[in-house]
A and B are shown apart, each in its own frame.
Chain A
């Protein structure tokens, strides 16, 4: 077993009570431990708290109890070692050209314009967006916008990529292409990836391990399933169907066991 890298230990989280709404306990003693360079998929039904886990890892939220650490150091607040690829395209800065969106993190670090543009150009090439430097996000398709988001987080050279259903809003063909490109990028960069999805197929295509979450509220990890299928994977790869069925059965059982 490789060394622990990104760890959540007994993390609980609840949304505070508002008028007329009771406090909702989203996570209950949620624990997971990732190794460096791992591609980890967090799989679960809508509303189970997947995004809450990601927001806790990103430092946007603080746990009510429990502890999150990255490389042994506690996570406190957002940091450039953990960057997020958001589901919607509203996370891009629509007044900046593609290249300046990608260079945003470097600009925050005070890198000179020439240098950060050079770096940004490299990452735009990596996500197959060479030649689109001067377009504004509004001029790009949905798939291209998500590529810009991926390039933007990679340019800051984070340790972990946190991806919140980044391909959820794309059409099936674009999604398929983005999935294989992401695996390619992961191979090239060696980043640790936490990828949230509710799509079993997507999880089996991408992940080293799949963490299946229980239905909310009070979610936690139901099981962690290693996916040892050889890469590159296809839906038609041998063993793919069995893996899919196994996870599906797990989710159905879990749902059936609940009142």
Chain B
């Protein structure tokens, strides 16, 4: 055998490394960029504004520490995360199988496609009032709103995934003795997985946006509530805490999701 398999990962030139080994130059640039923004924030806030109007980073930090010590912050963070996670997982669990069925079976698709195409243009927040009337102001309403947001994104990505399966794969499976059911389980499902995971990742981002809006309108806890409620006494430092937490949580969950994909599902196709 003289043929050599291509190895794209090695073909790419590695980023230049510094003496510390695992620290890449890019990492240092990230850190420098973040520090630069915080310094700029400090300068702008202290030079042009009153702290109540635009709080400087040090004030936000000390407020954040107080809220952390009193347990207030973790309460808001954990309740928001719980709502996101519950809605996101339930929504994905409904949407992925539904998308697979709609993508694979024309009759199922014909039955449900009109509803999907109609309701995906109705923003989840438009449902907030009726959902609160029907299900009350408790957790059910907030979770349902996130389920709704998640379903359409994951469902449509899954259907696109099914339609992207190379016909040759299904034909190969058929002539290798796969019944339609086995072809569905052993070909359609794994071939669609990258699209399902991509849809879930997008839905995760939308869940953050949705939970904040829902908590602003109908909640007495959570980061959205914290941000909205703090406006009543001009507690802009608390509002900033809420904003920073949302960004950080979004970033962390997204990275975690990506890590899990790379760790456990890399063979199903790279996702960026």
Cβ–Cβ < 8 Å partners of A107 in chain B: 186
Smallest CB separation, A17 vs chain B (Å): 20
Given A84-B171, A139-B7, A144-B5, verify A95-B268 contact (CB < 8 Å).
yes
Given A95-B191, A174-B3, verify A78-B171 contact (CB < 8 Å).
yes
CA distance A84 to B267 in the complex (A): 24
Cβ–Cβ < 8 Å partners of B268 in chain A: 95
Cβ–Cβ < 8 Å partners of A140 in chain B: 5
CA distance A91 to B3 in the complex (A): 21
Smallest CB separation, B192 vs chain A (Å): 10
- B20 contacts chain A at the CB level, 8 A cutoff: no
- B182 contacts chain A at the CB level, 8 A cutoff: yes
Which of A82, A92, A95 is in CB contact (< 8 Å) with B175?
Answer: A82
CA distance A34 to B137 in the complex (A): 75
Q: Mark A82-107, 1 if CB is under 8 A from B, else 0.
A: 11101010111111110000001101
- B193 contacts chain A at the CB level, 8 A cutoff: yes
Cβ–Cβ < 8 Å partners of B178 in chain A: 104, 108
Cβ–Cβ < 8 Å partners of A128 in chain B: 1
In the complex, which residue of chain A has the Cβ closest to the Cβ of B182? A108
Smallest CB separation, B214 vs chain A (Å): 37
Cβ–Cβ < 8 Å partners of A156 in chain B: 176-177
- B126 contacts chain A at the CB level, 8 A cutoff: no
CA distance A144 to B169 in the complex (A): 18
Smallest CB separation, B8 vs chain A (Å): 9
Q: Are B176 and A152 in contact (CB under 8 A)?
A: yes
Interface size class of chain A, counting residues whose CB lies under 8 Å from the partner chain: 35 or more
- A233 contacts chain B at the CB level, 8 A cutoff: no
In the complex, which residue of chain A has the Cβ closest to the Cβ of B175? A78
- B70 contacts chain A at the CB level, 8 A cutoff: no
Given A95-B193, A141-B4, verify A60-B176 contact (CB < 8 Å).
no
Smallest CB separation, B172 vs chain A (Å): 4
CA distance A96 to B174 in the complex (A): 17
- Residues of A23-47 whose CB lies within 8 A of B: none
- A109 contacts chain B at the CB level, 8 A cutoff: yes
Which of A88, A104, A153 is in CB contact (< 8 Å) with B168?
Answer: A88
- B16 contacts chain A at the CB level, 8 A cutoff: no
- B245 contacts chain A at the CB level, 8 A cutoff: no
Q: Are A60 and B174 in contact (CB under 8 A)?
A: yes
CA distance A6 to B6 in the complex (A): 39
Q: Are A141 and B175 in contact (CB under 8 A)?
A: no
Cβ–Cβ < 8 Å partners of A141 in chain B: 3-6
Q: Are A83 and B190 in contact (CB under 8 A)?
A: no
Smallest CB separation, A58 vs chain B (Å): 6
- B105 contacts chain A at the CB level, 8 A cutoff: no
Cβ–Cβ < 8 Å partners of A176 in chain B: none
Cβ–Cβ < 8 Å partners of A104 in chain B: 173, 176, 178, 186
In the complex, which residue of chain A has the Cβ closest to the Cβ of B178? A108
Smallest CB separation, B171 vs chain A (Å): 6
- B269 contacts chain A at the CB level, 8 A cutoff: yes
CA distance A41 to B1 in the complex (A): 27
In the complex, which residue of chain B has the Cβ closest to the Cβ of A60? B171
Q: Are A90 and B169 in contact (CB under 8 A)?
A: yes
CA distance A92 to B172 in the complex (A): 8
Q: Are A139 and B175 in contact (CB under 8 A)?
A: no
Smallest CB separation, B126 vs chain A (Å): 37
Which of A83, A91, A136, A143 is in CB contact (< 8 Å) with B169?
Answer: A91
Cβ–Cβ < 8 Å partners of B31 in chain A: none
- A59 contacts chain B at the CB level, 8 A cutoff: yes
Smallest CB separation, A156 vs chain B (Å): 6
- B132 contacts chain A at the CB level, 8 A cutoff: no
- B187 contacts chain A at the CB level, 8 A cutoff: yes
Given A95-B267, A144-B5, verify A86-B172 contact (CB < 8 Å).
yes
CA distance A88 to B166 in the complex (A): 10
Q: Are A83 and B175 in contact (CB under 8 A)?
A: yes
Q: Are A78 and B193 in contact (CB under 8 A)?
A: no
Q: Are A94 and B269 in contact (CB under 8 A)?
A: yes
* In the complex, the 10 A-B pairs of residues with the closest C-beta atoms, listed nearest first: A105-B176, A90-B166, A91-B168, A78-B174, A108-B177, A80-B177, A78-B175, A91-B172, A95-B268, A95-B190
In the complex, besides A58-B171, A136-B267, A153-B175, 14 extra interface pairs with C-beta distance below 8 angstroms are A78-B175, A86-B171, A88-B166, A88-B168, A91-B168, A93-B172, A93-B190, A95-B268, A104-B173, A104-B176, A105-B177, A132-B5, A135-B5, A141-B6
Footprint of A on B, CB under 8 Å? 1, 3-7, 166, 168-169, 171-179, 182, 186-187, 190-191, 193, 267-269
